[in-house]
Amino acid sequence: MRGRLALLVAATTLAACAPDSWRAAPTFNDFLRQISQECHPHSIGKMQISNLISDPFFVNQTSRLYHQTISARQYVTAMNGFYPGNNAAALDCILERVPRGSAPAPAK
C-alpha cells in the first residue's frame, strides 16, 4: 500500500510539472537528439544544449514548443528568463528545427 501511494504521488507530481512528457511521442525524443547534435556547441545560459536535454525545465518547455502548446515567442521568453545569457544562436537553432508550417520567430 505504501509503495502504491508513493508511486501515485510521484506520478501526480511529474504530471503537474511536465504535462507534455506523458504524451507518447517518440518523435519528440528524436527531436531532442536532433537538436543535441545539430545545435552543438551552442549554449543556453551556461550549458550546452547537449547537456540541457536532461534538464527538466528545458525538456518541459521544449516539449511544449514541439507540441505547439506554447508559441516560439513564449518559448524564447521562458528560456531567456530561466537561463540568462546570450542565447540567440542556440534558440534560433532549435526554432529552425521545430516541425511546423509557420516560420519560427527570431530569438532576439
What is the DSSP track for 25-81? -HHHHHHHHHHHHHTTT-EETTEEHHHHTT-HHHHHHHHHHHTTSS-HHHHHHHHHH
C-alpha span between 59 and 87 (Å, rounded): 16
Residue 64 identity:
R
What integer pLDDT is reported at residue 2 of this predicted model?
Answer: 57
What integer pLDDT is reported at residue 19 of this predicted model?
Answer: 52
Residue 82 identity:
F
pTM above 0.85, yes or no: no
Q: Provide the residue-wise pLDDT of the chain in tens; the chain has 108 residues.
A: 655 545 544 554 554 555 555 554 469 999 999 999 999 999 999 999 999 999 999 999 999 999 999 999 999 999 999 999 999 999 999 999 998 644 445 555
What integer pLDDT is reported at residue 88 of this predicted model?
Answer: 97
